[in-house]
């Protein structure tokens, strides 16, 4: 039976007194089976067989300042090399200005990772004052949790395994660089070109000396071996983001953190670290997963979107947490991001998605995975034992990254978004509930149109605009097979696209029900069909808060002795069809007088996975002053995840009384 662990988490709130620290709590998550385990990670949740890390107060701060990807989004084009480096300098200066302002107020923040290319931000361990100051500082978009990153491999076996069977006549991936964000790569084990790369775990300049991933279980070498098996002419760029660590269970595991993952994506678009992306990898394989963290606004999602704007397609496994029920599913991050090519594992023995492979939709309602690839017994190489077979959605993602290299060689004119679109659009129909097709590099290379975004989520009463791009040098007529997708309507069913041009189509849902998924087919005249997976999702409906309890109602609480409010946030349900995750997008902690007058927001927490949380009430008002004796109300307002495309639902509110003597 699956069981969610409790989250051990406390936040001390009040102006300049917010803190993140561990607090051991017992009990199970509302809506989950009883009997949750004793250990967990701050700001995260896992099933009981997954090791956790004590991440303390490590956070990623997203800023509104300049970034290179933001510049491209603003102008529609990539500036010259000198201008690229100037934008990177401006981004760093923006960060320094914010940190200097905080330092002048006595708030010191030590930056662990700085991000300037895919978005503007940094990671740091935030103490009490820093968390509160950053949450309120101008120019700060949000403060997000750092999560644990796991290799998405379920098993390895002896022997050579099954060959992929994927090929593109006359292509071997030559001239294409594939970054492998993983545990390092053993150069001597692979019969392909392997660059020095970067080691972001130990800070070394080279991530691929002989046996670079000794002690890290060899996952990176196995993934690079799968890429090389499909695209032997491709160049492998190792970027080490996983390493041996001691988990909370006391054992050694190969794990990473989400800020290292984001740093790895940044390094993939700028391998030499000079602030310019002329050397960007065409494909970045992140064969890792943050379980269930399918948030559309996360730093990882921002990094994947920024990388796409800068020319790098991020490919990632959906995860190995099994099928989803009727609601948000089990797909993890970074696969859940709209800009990431998410890959699920296909089992050729059954002709179905592998039983272990995660399924969506993601928290914005988007169907995930984007496509399927073989993920059971895939042939590769291990630096310690030679030829092996790998099983897991990471193996499927590695196959897809190799196929992406083949298609990129054949179609060098495609940008990252178009490469993503043709791989999804050219996939072969496959059995299964998600609408995801089976990887087909020949079909992808033959695509005449690209539909962007590659997958879409629709909300009842809403409209989603997709862009159909003509990838040929002649005028092209395209029909939309709406009769095959009765859940959709469109403002135009027949398009005439000029050479290299495009048309925007507005799609609307036409069906009822909680979840409907399917595929819209675009039929270009004289060219192969293109697929657009879609999902119609109704907003979150479950109560997102429960089991509120305030430890002390009558006192004068302080930072040293806060009144502790415990509660459950979000839900995880096991249905007949699989697991359903109900997260919290934003949690506001409001303070009111007993008469209902709002005094302000004490704290705002983002992207909460289902779990049990604690908040320490320090006895200060939102403006930093001490609360006068009297009666107050602490109200929690939990909002479901929503963005421009995704589902929206009513906020859940819960409150407790607080008496200050």
pLDDT in tens, 248-299: 888 888 999 999 999 999 999 999 999 999 999 999 999 999 999 999 999 9
Distances in Å between the Cα of 632 and the Cα atoms of 447, 597, 623, 655 are 62, 10, 15, 10
Strand, helix or coil at 594?
Answer: coil
- What pLDDT is stored for residue 10 in this prediction? 44
Determine the average pLDDT of the residues in 520-544: 86
Q: Which of 448-462, 580-594, 606-620 bottoms out in mean pLDDT, i.e. has the lowest?
A: 606-620
Confidence at 517, pLDDT banded by 50, 70, 90: confident
pLDDT in tens, 38-57: 222 223 333 446 788 888 88
For residue 541, is pLDDT > 70?
Answer: no
pLDDT above 90 covers a percentage of the chain that reads 61
* Angle, in degrees to the nearest 10, between helices 68-75 and 81-104: 120
Confidence at 164, pLDDT banded by 50, 70, 90: low
Name the token pair of 90. Answer: 């401006």
- What pLDDT is stored for residue 553 in this prediction? 57
Determine the average pLDDT of the residues in 614-620: 82
- What pLDDT is stored for residue 487 in this prediction? 84
Q: What is the pTM of this model?
A: 0.91
Which range, 85-99, 155-169, 237-251, 585-599, is most confident? 85-99
For residue 2, is pLDDT > 80?
Answer: no
Q: In what order do the strands lie in the sheet with 494-497?
A: 456-458, 530-537, 515-524, 476-480, 494-497
Kind and range of the H or E run holding 656: strand 652-660
- What pLDDT is stored for residue 294 in this prediction? 93
Confidence at 618, pLDDT banded by 50, 70, 90: confident
Question: Whose structure tokens read 């001597």?
Answer: 188
Report all structural domains of the chain as residue ranges with CATH numbers, in order of start: 11-21+539-661 (2.60.40.10), 58-145 (3.30.70), 149-449 (3.40.50.200)
SS3 assignment for 493-539: CEEEECCCCEEEEEEEECCCCCEEEEEEEEEECCCCCEEEEEEEECC
Q: Which of 145-159, 248-262, 367-381 bottoms out in mean pLDDT, i.e. has the lowest?
A: 145-159
Question: Average pLDDT, whole number, for the chain?
Answer: 86
- What pLDDT is stored for residue 199 in this prediction? 94
Strand, helix or coil at 34?
Answer: coil
Handedness of CA 392, 311, 113, 71 (dihedral sign): negative
Kind and range of the H or E run holding 643: none
Confidence at 435, pLDDT banded by 50, 70, 90: confident
pLDDT in tens, 335-358: 999 999 999 999 999 999 999 999
- What pLDDT is stored for residue 260 in this prediction? 97
607/572: higher pLDDT: 607
pLDDT in tens, 14-42: 433 333 222 222 222 222 222 222 222 22
pLDDT in tens, 217-227: 589 999 999 99
Confidence at 540, pLDDT banded by 50, 70, 90: low
- What pLDDT is stored for residue 562 in this prediction? 82
pLDDT in tens, 552-594: 655 677 767 788 889 999 888 777 777 788 899 999 999 999 9
pLDDT in tens, 51-96: 888 888 899 999 999 999 999 999 999 999 999 999 999 999 999 9
Confidence at 211, pLDDT banded by 50, 70, 90: very low
- What pLDDT is stored for residue 511 in this prediction? 64
Q: Which of 220-234, 273-287, 444-458, 591-605 bottoms out in mean pLDDT, i.e. has the lowest?
A: 591-605
């Amino acid at each position: 039976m699956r069981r969610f662990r409790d989250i051990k988490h406390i936040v001390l709130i009040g102006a300049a007194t917010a803190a993140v620290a561990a607090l051991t709590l017992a009990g199970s998550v509302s809506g989950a089976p009883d009997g949750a385990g004793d250990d967990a990670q701050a700001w995260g949740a896992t099933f009981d067989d997954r090791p956790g890390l004590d991440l303390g107060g490590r956070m990623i701060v997203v800023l509104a300042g300049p970034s290179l990807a933001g510049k491209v989004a603003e102008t529609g084009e990539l500036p010259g090399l000198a201008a690229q480096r100037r934008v990177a300098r401006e981004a760093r200066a923006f960060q320094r200005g914010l940190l200097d302002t905080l330092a002048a107020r006595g708030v010191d923040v030590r930056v662990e990772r700085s991000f300037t290319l895919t978005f503007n931000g940094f990671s740091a361990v935030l103490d009490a004052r820093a968390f509160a100051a950053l949450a309120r500082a101008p120019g700060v978009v949000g403060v997000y949790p750092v999560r644990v990153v796991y290799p998405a491999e379920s098993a390895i076996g002896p022997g050579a395994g099954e060959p992929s069977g994927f090929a593109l006549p006359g292509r071997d991936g030559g001239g294409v660089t594939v970054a492998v964000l993983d545990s390092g790569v053993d150069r001597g084990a692979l019969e392909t070109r392997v660059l020095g790369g970067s080691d972001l775990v130990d800070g070394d300049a080279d991530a691929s000396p002989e046996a670079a991933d000794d002690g890290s279980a060899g996952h990176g070498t196995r993934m690079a071996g799968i890429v090389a098996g499909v695209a032997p002419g491709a160049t492998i760029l190792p970027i080490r983001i996983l390493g041996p660590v001691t988990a909370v269970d006391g054992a050694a595991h190969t794990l990473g953190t989400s800020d290292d993952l984001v740093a790895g994506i940044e390094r993939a678009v700028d391998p030499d670290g000079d602030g310019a992306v002329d050397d960007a990898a065409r494909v970045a394989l992140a064969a890792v997963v943050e379980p269930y963290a399918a948030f559309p606004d996360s730093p990882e999602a921002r990094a994947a979107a920024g990388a796409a704007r800068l020319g790098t397609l991020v490919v990632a496994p959906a995860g190995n947490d099994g099928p989803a029920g009727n609601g948000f599913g089990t797909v993890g991050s970074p696969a859940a991001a709209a800009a990431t090519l998410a890959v699920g594992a296909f089992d050729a023995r059954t002709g179905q998605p592998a039983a272990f492979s995660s399924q969506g939709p993601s928290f914005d309602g988007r169907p995930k995975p984007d496509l399927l690839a073989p993920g059971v017994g895939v042939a590769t190489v291990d630096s310690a034992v030679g030829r092996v077979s790998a099983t897991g959605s990471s193996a499927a993602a590695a196959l897809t990254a190799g196929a992406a290299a083949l298609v990129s060689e054949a179609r060098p004119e495609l940008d990252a978004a178009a490469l993503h679109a043709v791989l999804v659009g050219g996939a072969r129909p496959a059995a299964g509930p998600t609408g995801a097709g089976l990887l087909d590099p020949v079909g992808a290379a033959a695509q005449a149109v690209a539909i962007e975004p590659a997958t879409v989520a629709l909300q009842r009463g809403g409209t989603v605009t997709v862009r159909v791009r003509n990838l040929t040098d002649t005028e092209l007529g395209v029909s939309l097979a709406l009769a095959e997708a009765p859940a959709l309507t469109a403002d135009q069913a027949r398009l005439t696209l000029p050479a290299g041009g495009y048309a925007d189509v507005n799609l609307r849902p036409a069906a009822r029900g909680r979840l409907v998924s399917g595929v819209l087919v675009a039929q270009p005249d004289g060219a192969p069909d293109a697929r657009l997976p879609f999902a119609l999702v109704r907003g979150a409906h479950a109560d997102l808060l429960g089991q509120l309890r305030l430890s002390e109602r009558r006192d004068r609480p302080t930072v040293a002795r806060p009144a502790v409010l415990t509660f459950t946030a979000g839900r995880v349900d096991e249905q007949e069809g699989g697991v359903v995750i109900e997260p919290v997008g934003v949690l506001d902690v409001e303070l009111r007088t007993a008469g209902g007058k709002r005094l302000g927001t004490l704290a705002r927490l983002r992207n909460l996975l289902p779990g049990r949380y604690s908040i320490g009430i320090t006895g200060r008002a939102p403006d930093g002053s001490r609360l006068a004796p009297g009666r107050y109300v602490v109200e929690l307002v939990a909002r479901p995840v929503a963005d421009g495309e995704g589902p929206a639902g009513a906020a859940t509110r819960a409150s407790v009384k607080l008496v200050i003597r």
